[in-house]
Amino acid sequence: MKQHLKAFPKKAASFLAAKRLQLLCIAGSFLLFFLATRYSSPRTDLVNGTSLPRDSYGGYRESYQVTVEGLASPGEAPLTLEIPVSERIYREEELPEVFSRCMEWLARTVPGDNLSLAEITGDVVLPTQWEGHGVSIRWGSSDPDLVSPFGTVRNESLQDEADVTLTAWLSDPAGLMEEPYLLPLTVLPPEAGESEKLKIRFLSYLDEQDLSQQSDAFFVLPREFEGRVLTYSQPDKRNFAVLLVMGPALALLLSLRERQKEKDAASSRLRQLLLDYPEIVSKLVVFLGAGMTVRLAWENIVEDYERDLTRGHPSRFAYEEMSAALSRLKTGESESAVYNSFGRRCGLRQYMKLSGILEQNRRAGMANLRPLLTQEMQRAWEERKTLARRQGEEAGTRLLGPLFLMLVIVMVIIITPAILSFL
């Protein structure tokens, strides 16, 4: 125990030596916190304990959270209120001086990228606010076609300098006063380089030639101008680029057409299978009621179908699948595998259910097969009625397109003479 006590000062000293920087940082932060809280003045919006600052001219209404002592009843806590303070406004006697300083600012701002108000060759800057001072500005122009109230300068056709007077209506935020001030501008023609000047001279020369040849069928362009030999050309108006796109586009359309045909064929097959299902179940019920086995009933249904084919009746997908299933039965394949395969090849829930009923009753016996098929037949006929109603609704929907087109044509026929009578 004594040895441990003797070793403790050494361990503490080594720990302090290793962690002295961290300890100094911690001690320094505590010292700074104490000095800041002890000697710095509190940071609040209140000035001298009773004044709240307003936002600048043209600013916003501010709200300050202030605790008011002495307002509440004795013994109650001080009230904390949201005190609104409106933005600052000018006194009426201050406005002339403010407007004068605003005009000085505008004289420096309006030229923008131009050299001065006396040398305007491009657009000018017409601000609508003097930011930070709350002065609103409306603009007017003595020649809006040359200098618009929005600062757009249209001097393309100007041949000589022109004087324009801009009018700035200055108003304060409170609406106490609105005064107009005039700002004179001198607009110069656009600066043109040597090539631009040559272009202008050549176009002027062409105008003269055009007038001198106005009675001729063709306008003959000059062969030379100011000692320069001239030749002329135009972009080729033919455009065969469409031929490059036509082949791939047709190939894509043909591919899409084949896919659509496959989708339509698959949809037609499924619809035909649904329509034939109640009839197939009904025939099975009739043949089973006559005392036949499932296989014999199957053979009779296929024989009737093949007899109809020889008479010119169209082929049906469901009966073709039954015929293929019968061929597999004749080769010795088990009825269970054939019926299951028949349901899967048809690909519809109804046929899978039928194959399941046949397979289940093949194992359990024929006692309950006819009642089950009778129930399935009734349900199948109800589904066929629903399908017929849906097909009728789809046909009616498809007729809306031609009807709408006919309505548009009738409206055009009626409206066109009325419009032409006013022209």
Q: 121-141: per-residue pLDDT in tens?
A: 888 888 988 887 878 888 989
Q: Which residue has the higher pLDDT, 324 or 17?
A: 324
How many angstroms separate the CA atoms of 100 and 57, rounded?
Answer: 16
245 phi/psi in degrees, rounded to 5:
-90, -25
Q: Poorest-confidence range of 68-72, 341-345, 353-357?
A: 68-72
Q: What is the mean pLDDT of residues 341-351?
A: 84
Predicted pLDDT at 80: 76
**What are the start-end ranges of the H helices in 180-239?**
194-212
65 phi/psi in degrees, rounded to 5:
-90, 115
Predicted pLDDT at 356: 82
pLDDT above 60 (res 8):
no
- Mean pLDDT (the chain) is 80
Closest Cα to residue 53, out of 95, 82, 86? Answer: 86
**Where are any strands of DSSP class E within 226-367?**
228-229
Q: Which residue has the higher pLDDT, 261 or 387?
A: 261
Q: What is the mean pLDDT of residues 56-80?
A: 71
| Token pair 């050494």 in the structure block, residue | 10
| Token pair 């176009």 in the structure block, residue | 203
Q: Where are the domains of the chain?
A: 93-187, 194-229, 265-396
pLDDT tens profile 396-407 = 777 777 888 888
Q: Which residue has the higher pLDDT, 392 or 327?
A: 327
pLDDT above 70 (res 70):
no
How many angstroms separate the CA atoms of 19 and 26, rounded?
Answer: 11
Predicted pLDDT at 7: 55
Predicted pLDDT at 418: 78
How many angstroms separate the CA atoms of 145 and 159, rounded?
Answer: 15
pLDDT above 70 (res 229):
yes
| H-run or E-run covering 65 | strand 62-68
Q: Poorest-confidence range of 334-338, 354-358, 419-423?
A: 419-423
pLDDT above 70 (res 205):
yes
Per-residue CA distances from 403 to 56, 62, 397, 400 (Å): 67, 64, 10, 5
pLDDT bin (cut points 50, 70, 90) of residue 31 is confident
Architecture of domain 93-187 in this structure: Sandwich (2.60)
How many angstroms separate the CA atoms of 107 and 184, rounded?
Answer: 10
Burial 111-131 (b: 16+ CB within 10 A, else e): beebeebeebebbbebbeebe
Q: What is the mean pLDDT of residues 143-148?
A: 88
Predicted pLDDT at 251: 77
pLDDT above 60 (res 4):
no
pLDDT above 60 (res 163):
yes
pLDDT bin (cut points 50, 70, 90) of residue 268 is confident
Residue 308 exposure: Cα atoms within 13 Å on the Cβ side: 12
Neighbours of 151 (CB within 10 A): 17
Burial of residue 343 (number of CB atoms within 10 Å: 0-12, 13-18, 19+)? buried
On whether the pTM is more than 0.75, the answer is no
Q: Poorest-confidence range of 64-73, 323-332, 333-342?
A: 64-73
Instruction: Return the axis-axis angle of helices 241-289 and 294-310, rounded to nearest 10°.
Output: 130
Over its C-alpha atoms, the chain yields an Rg (Å, rounded) of: 49
Label the pairing between strands 162-171 and 62-68. unpaired
Q: What is the DSSP letter of 51?
A: B
Residue 206 CB contacts under 8 Å (≥ 6 apart), including other chains: 221, 222
pLDDT above 80 (res 197):
no
* Contact (CB, 8 A) for 355 and 343: yes
pLDDT above 60 (res 143):
yes
Residue 172 CB contacts under 8 Å (≥ 6 apart), including other chains: 57, 89, 90, 95, 98, 134, 135, 136
Q: What is the mean pLDDT of residues 202-209?
A: 86
Predicted pLDDT at 58: 64
